[in-house]
């Protein structure tokens, strides 16, 4: 043999967008039958590179070889024709269709009358071959996120793909599902298929990949076999500097409860019970984390606490006062800050400028003007201080918030929410979509809050984040708290089981059973 057998080679790829170079002379060589991790922060150019490889974007210069032959990729269809397919982070599935219908969608044969039986048989074949258990007749909306991901993988296999790109595949999975996915990926490579695995999680790179390429600011800064590197080295390559130690975390001075939730139930947007008897406490000076797979009632829990959704039974007490189904305004006045999941939809008004957004919760209290008149100068001075203190990078205060980067808009939101008089912060996925720098900033703000004696309810999907910050972690699944673990008794396995819906051993404190 002699030479190495490459499934895909991208040479000297450059792609410019107005104002930025998304890919700057990037090289990537992926060996056949291997798992190649593509590591980088948000905005490092991973997506651009993969969009070029799947035919969505065309490079300004550079060449692509597939199995040693130079190719031109004009569309996703031409990429799939060459055996290159991608499983996107946000699944592209028709929710009301069956698994088999989704898999055959967009194919050209059979041309007219559709007989689903042979398609279902073939789906079942792929299922058993690679450990991708899924019922071909189930509707997508009936499936768990993990199962939906399997459908996406089968969809690609069905199209004859042998180079499979997985975009952040573990972000939405429980630890158990991650393990199953890894098992499937190993079976696929054993079968000669090639996987490109996009991620920013170092431990996954170390666990699953054979080789790793690090992208930073549009360039490939580092490539090596995974066995010859350490996660520490990869982290510094990814960020471009030695990353700081985990933030300092002095022992908490825990006080009395600022939030007490008992037997809370609520109805969701689909008129089903989304909160099913939640019991929860947050004490002053602690960060109480809520772990769980997305869509198990986290958003609704935050909404009920902040007055944006009605509780159908149970109660919410804030600093001892019953605040169940009070208006958002009176809950704000009771000292609740909210970092909502949808920061630009719920947290900020994207078309308004920074000053307007910053004073949004203050204009009523009298210090920003008199009566209905806002004192513009005072509002600006105050916002200026806030922007300075929280390191929000912006051309000026008149800039519309929608033009800020994710990290800067989140800093502004945190600045507004933590600068008012408050006893409790309800933060929902506060670092989702942020790069390492912005994430560190959010974490240090939350820890600063903790030190100053504020209670924080931190809802997150990122277990690493929860473990780094929280004093206690509760796991939510299907609208119920499956169990609560203290920081010093953390057991990842147990949390994973609870995320999948297996309850912890019954706890001592009184159970409030609520009828659905």
Partner 1 sequence: MADSMFVSILSAAVSSGTPVLYAALGELVCERSGVLNLGVEGMMLVGAVSGFLTAVRTGSLAAGVLAALVAGGLMGLIHAFMTITLRVNQVVSGLALTLFGTGLSGYLGKSMIGVPLAVTFNQTPIPGLSGIPVIGTVLFKHDLLVYLTYIVVPFLWFYLYRTRPGLHLRSVGESPETADALGVNVFSIRYASVTAGGMLAGLGGAYLSLAYAPSWLENMTAGRGWIAVALVIFAVWDPFRAMLGAYLFGGIDALGFRIQVLGAKIPSFFLKMMPYVFTIAVLIIVTATASRRSSRAPEALGLPYERE
State the residues that interact with partner 1 by CB under 8 A.
Answer: 75-77, 88, 92-97, 101-102, 104-107, 110-114, 270-271
CB nearer to partner 1: pick between 145 and 468:
145
Residue 196 in contact with residue 86, Cβ under 8 Å?
no
Whether the ω angle into residue 120 lies within 30 degrees of 0, i.e. cis, is no
Report the nearest approach of partner 1 to the CB of residue 102 (Å): 8
Report the nearest approach of partner 1 to the CB of residue 77 (Å): 5
CB nearer to partner 1: pick between 77 and 376:
77
CB nearer to partner 1: pick between 105 and 365:
105
CA 505 – CA 508 distance, rounded (Å):
9
Angle at the Cα of 418 from the Cα atoms of 415 and 421, rounded to 5 degrees: 135
CB nearer to partner 1: pick between 93 and 424:
93
Instruction: Tell me the two tokens of residue 146.
Output: 């993990």
CA 174 – CA 292 distance, rounded (Å):
8
DSSP states along 268-318: -TTSSEEEEEEEEEEETT-EEEEE--TTSSHHHHHHHHTTSS--SEEEEEE
CB nearer to partner 1: pick between 102 and 355:
102
- 81, HSE (Cβ side, Cα atoms, 13 Å): 10
CA 446 – CA 469 distance, rounded (Å):
8
Report the nearest approach of partner 1 to the CB of residue 94 (Å): 5
Report the nearest approach of partner 1 to the CB of residue 169 (Å): 17
CB nearer to partner 1: pick between 72 and 107:
107
Report the nearest approach of partner 1 to the CB of residue 186 (Å): 27
Report the nearest approach of partner 1 to the CB of residue 209 (Å): 26
Considering only CA atoms, which of 385, 393, 388 is closest in space to residue 410? 393
DSSP states along 15-31: EEETTEEEEEEEEEEEE
Q: Which sign, positive or negative, has the C-alpha torsion 504, 509, 512, 513?
A: positive
Report the nearest approach of partner 1 to the CB of residue 177 (Å): 22
71 forms beta bridges with 64
Relative to beta strand 273-283, strand 257-267 is antiparallel
Report the nearest approach of partner 1 to the CB of residue 147 (Å): 17
């Amino acid at each position: 043999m002699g030479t190495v057998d490459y499934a895909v080679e991208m040479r000297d790829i450059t792609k410019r967008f107005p104002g930025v170079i998304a890919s700057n002379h990037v090289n990537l060589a992926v060996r056949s039958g291997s798992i190649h991790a593509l590591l980088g922060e948000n905005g490092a150019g991973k997506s651009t590179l993969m969009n070029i490889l799947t035919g969505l974007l065309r490079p300004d210069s550079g060449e692509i070889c597939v199995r040693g032959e130079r190719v031109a990729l004009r569309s996703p269809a031409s990429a799939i024709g060459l055996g290159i397919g991608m499983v996107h982070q946000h699944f592209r599935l028709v929710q009301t269709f069956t698994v088999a219908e989704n898999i055959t969608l967009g194919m050209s044969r059979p041309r007219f009358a559709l007989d689903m039986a042979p398609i279902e048989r073939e789906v079942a074949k792929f299922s058993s071959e690679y450990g991708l258990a899924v019922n071909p007749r189930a509707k997508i909306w009936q499936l768990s996120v993990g199962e939906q991901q399997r459908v996406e993988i089968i969809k690609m296999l069905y199209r004859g793909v042998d180079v499979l790109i997985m975009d952040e595949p573990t972000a939405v999975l429980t630890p158990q599902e991650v393990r199953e996915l890894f098992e499937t990926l190993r079976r696929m490579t054993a079968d000669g298929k090639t996987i490109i695995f996009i991620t920013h999680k170092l431990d996954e790179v170390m666990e699953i990949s054979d080789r790793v390429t690090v992208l930073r600011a549009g360039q490939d800064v580092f490539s090596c076999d995974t066995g010859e590197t350490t996660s520490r080295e990869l982290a510094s390559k990814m960020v471009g500097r030695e990353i700081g130690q985990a933030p300092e975390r002095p022992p908490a001075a825990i006080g009395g409860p600022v939030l007490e939730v008992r037997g809370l139930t609520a109805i969701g947007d689909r008129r089903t019970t989304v909160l099913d008897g939640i019991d929860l406490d947050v004490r002053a000076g602690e960060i109480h984390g809520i772990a769980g797979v997305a869509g198990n009632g986290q958003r609704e829990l935050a909404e009920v606490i902040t007055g944006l959704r009605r509780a159908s039974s149970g109660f919410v007490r804030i600093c001892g006062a019953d605040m169940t189904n009070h208006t958002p305004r009176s809950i704000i006045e009771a000292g609740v800050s909210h970092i909502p999941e949808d920061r630009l939809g719920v947290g900020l008004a994207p078309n308004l400028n920074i000053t307007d957004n910053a004073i949004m919760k203050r204009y009523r209290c009298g210090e920003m003007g008199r009566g209905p008149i806002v004192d513009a100068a005072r509002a600006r001075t105050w916002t200026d201080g806030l922007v300075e203190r929280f390191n929000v990078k912006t051309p000026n205060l008149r800039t519309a918030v929608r033009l800020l980067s994710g990290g800067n808009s989140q800093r502004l939101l945190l600045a507004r929410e933590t600068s008012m008089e408050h006893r409790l912060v309800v933060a929902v996925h506060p670092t989702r979509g942020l790069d390492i720098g912005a994430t560190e900033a959010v974490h240090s703000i939350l820890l600063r809050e903790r030190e100053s004696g504020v209670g924080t309810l931190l809802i997150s999907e990122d277990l690493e984040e929860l473990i780094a910050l929280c004093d206690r972690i509760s796991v939510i699944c299907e609208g119920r708290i499956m169990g609560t673990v203290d920081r010093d008794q953390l057991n990842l396995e147990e949390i994973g089981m609870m995320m999948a819906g297996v309850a912890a051993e019954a706890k001592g404190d009184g159970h409030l059973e609520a009828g659905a």
